[in-house]
Structure 1
Amino acid sequence: MDAFFDRESLRELLERLHDTYNRPEFIPDDPISVPHRFTDPADREIAGFFAATIAWGSRPQIVRNGHRLMRYMDDAPADFVRHASERELAGLDAFVHRTFRGSDARDFVRALRRLDTCYGGIGCFFEDRYAATGDLPTVLADFRREFFEAEHAPRCEKHLSSIERGAACKRLCMYLRWMVRRDGRGVDFGLWQRIPMSALRLPLDLHVGRTARALGLLTRRQNDWRAVEELTAALRTFDAEDPVRYDFSLFGAGIDGALKL
């Protein structure tokens, strides 16, 4: 651990930051606000997946464009995925978020439609594969392969990270946090109850990595899957059943500059 923090001081800091950010006031300025606009679980799954997919760049832009994409889907994302006509899919062409274009959105809708037809939805796929394997990295690899079994343009593959290539898979890990974690605080949804919270990995980005290294929780310099495993293992020593609860601590402190590190 970092020389400035003994173990108990670090635990107290993580808990204090967790309590600061894991609350409903956190929602409006975060991409999770996009699925929070819906009450139906299927809508939350689809809206959450798209919000997580475009979650890079400026947070206000991510939130704004996530809500805009839902309007392109008539504010009924599950129905849109299942039933949109080719003409309605073409209406997505006007959407752009950085390098994620309308054509990528169309290919993602087709991939999600195939998952819904073949497996009963994205959540069923994840839960069934986890039940079969008990290994989240294997499930992430299986999901990416299955997702791109649908007809798609090769360019859209860059928008779904590959764990088999060592990527940190930050957006997928964040999406899984939203769908799996359940703590009654009103932020995460806890929809996929057949996946234990203990299996989740921390969403690792620039802000989280910088804060984790400053606190002595992470030594690996690259923000890759090996770093994800190292950081998650360190956080399991504080809460083995729910290590990813500290995403609120590390991300919140990093993005807001709450720690002068």
Structure 2
Amino acid sequence: MKLKKAELKAFLNEKVELYNRPDFIKSDPIQIPHQFTLKEDIEIAGFLAATIAWGNRKSIINNANKMMNLLDHAPYQFITQHQDSDLERLETFVHRTFNGLDFIQFIKSLQHIYAQHQGLEAVFKAHVEKDSIQRSIHEFKNCFFEIPHLKRTQKHISDPLKNSAAKRINMFLRWMVRADNTGVDFGIWTSISPAVLSCPLDVHSGNVARKLGLLKRKQNDGKALAELDKALRKLDPTDPVKYDFALFGLGVFENF
């Protein structure tokens, strides 16, 4: 399907409007952070939900809700004030290859980030480049694992500088940074510009992007993400990742 740039932009903008609305929340893991009002609760709940966002969406949402139950529905308070004995109950958690030991490691690393680095937003903000947030993700991973940790847990945070598309973290960053006036994305991280965000690239968005001529590369990796970023920034340099709603909606809901 080859559309002229103006036609493609109009087509995608129409799809963004169709899917970027509150109805979208109930079928998406973004519903987890929407349970909270405190900034820190929203970002921690969002980060944990995004971390396990692969596989069946229903099971992602169920398991992310289990995570919130285990954290007493007060993630920030749990992370900053828990005792070691409180962590034992997390051992039972499992979502695919992310298990209770990984969960406990995540709690300890998040505690370290809020105690020593002024929280998640500050860590991501520190390394933003003028047209990309991918180095920030790499540096965030270093920061996350600078305390003693299980080696197995490292695989649950992707590294774009190792050619990963880092889909889940890019999705989380969209949730936090992008202010969309429709009540879907939060826009609570005002120190980072939406212009530097990258589209969460997965099977669905990748296939749709290829059909629309936005992406040529076959693999959904870091190089493909850079190519897609370039194409989406041409369509909207200030808010390129709004097109995630269009690509995802076309792929998942319309089997485009």
TM-score interval, smaller chain: over 0.9
In the TM superposition, what whole-angstrom CA distance separates every residue of 1:232-261 from its partner, at most 9, and x where no partner exists? 1101111110000000000111111253xx
1:242 maps to which residue? 239
SS in structure 2 opposite 1:106?
helix
1:205 maps to which residue? 202
Residues 1:52 and 2:50 are matched in the alignment: yes
State whether residues 179 and 186 of structure 2, in contact with CA within 8 Å, keep that contact through their aligned partners in structure 1.
yes
Map 1:162-177 to 2 at 5 A. Answer: 162-177=159-174
Among candidates 145, 148, 152, match of residue 151 of structure 1: 148
Residues 1:192 and 2:192 are matched in the alignment: no
SS in structure 2 opposite 1:19?
helix
Report the identity percentage: 43
SS in structure 2 opposite 1:129?
coil
Instruction: Supply the AA of the counterpart residue of 1:12.
Output: A
Q: Output the aligned Cα RMSD.
A: 1.1
Q: Which runs of 5+ in 1 are unaligned?
A: none
Q: Which runs of 5+ in 2 are unaligned?
A: none
1:24 maps to which residue? 22
1:226 maps to which residue? 223
In the TM superposition, what whole-angstrom CA distance separates every residue of 1:171-229 from its partner, at most 9, and x where no partner exists? 11001000100121100011111111100011100110001001111001111111111
Task: Report the more deviating stretch, 145-154 or 37-46.
Answer: 145-154
Map 1:105-120 to 2 at 5 A. Answer: 105-120=103-118
Task: Report the more deviating stretch, 120-129 or 221-230.
Answer: 120-129
Cα distance between partner residues in 2 of 1:137 and 1:241: 17
State whether residues 135 and 161 of structure 2, in contact with CA within 8 Å, keep that contact through their aligned partners in structure 1.
no
Number of equivalent positions: 255
Map 1:86-165 to 2 at 5 A. Answer: 86-130=84-128, 133-134=129-130, 135-165=132-162
State whether residues 126 and 136 of structure 2, in contact with CA within 8 Å, keep that contact through their aligned partners in structure 1.
no
2:36 maps to which residue? 38
State whether residues 107 and 151 of structure 1, in contact with CA within 8 Å, keep that contact through their aligned partners in structure 2.
no
Cα distance between partner residues in 2 of 1:56 and 1:20: 24
In the TM superposition, what whole-angstrom CA distance separates every residue of 1:121-168 from its partner, at most 9, and x where no partner exists? 1112112333xx545222111111111112211111111011121100
